[in-house]
Amino acid sequence: MALGAFALVASEFMPVSLLTPVAAELGISEGQAGQAISVSGAFALLTSLFMAPLSGRLDRKVLLLGLTVMMIVSSTVAAFAPNYTVFMIGRAFIGVAIGGFWSM
């Protein structure tokens, strides 16, 4: 659980220090790269609204494992994204994992 919390916090805030290299790699502005932090936060908020009531009815171990797998896959997608759209999709799913994890 502690490792999951560390990985989620790192994946949420690490891009702040990497905005310039991400923007250069994807050929976008730093402002567009900064939207990746906003999109993950927005999806975390929306997910937490729905996940909190569901987590009481679902097996928490299975839910935690699923969210961990989602975090790994979405972080990999964002890290190797060939373009801005794929990068933002990866960041959105990181937000889903963050919101689900913190609402448990």
pLDDT digits (tens, 9 = 90+) for 79-102: 999 999 999 999 999 999 999 988
Does some domain include residue 23?
no
Per DSSP, 100 falls in state H
Element (H, E) at 39: helix 30-55
Residue 88 counted as domain residue: yes
Q: Is residue 72 part of a domain?
A: yes
Higher-confidence position of 24 and 1 = 24
At how many degrees (to 10) do helices 30-55 and 19-26 cross? 110
Question: Confidence class of residue 69 from pLDDT cuts 50, 70 and 90?
Answer: very high
User: What number of other Cβ atoms are within 10 A of residue 63's Cβ?
Assistant: 17
Number of domains the chain is built from: 1
The pLDDT of residue 92 is 96
Residue 46's domain spans which residues?
2-8+35-102
| Rounded Cα–Cα distance for residues 52 and 80 (Å) | 31
d(CA 75, CA 66): 14
Task: Examine residue 71 and state whether it is found in any structural domain, yes or no.
Answer: yes
Please write the tens of the pLDDT for every residue from 39-63. Answer: 999 999 999 998 888 888 888 889 8
Residue 20 lies in a domain: no
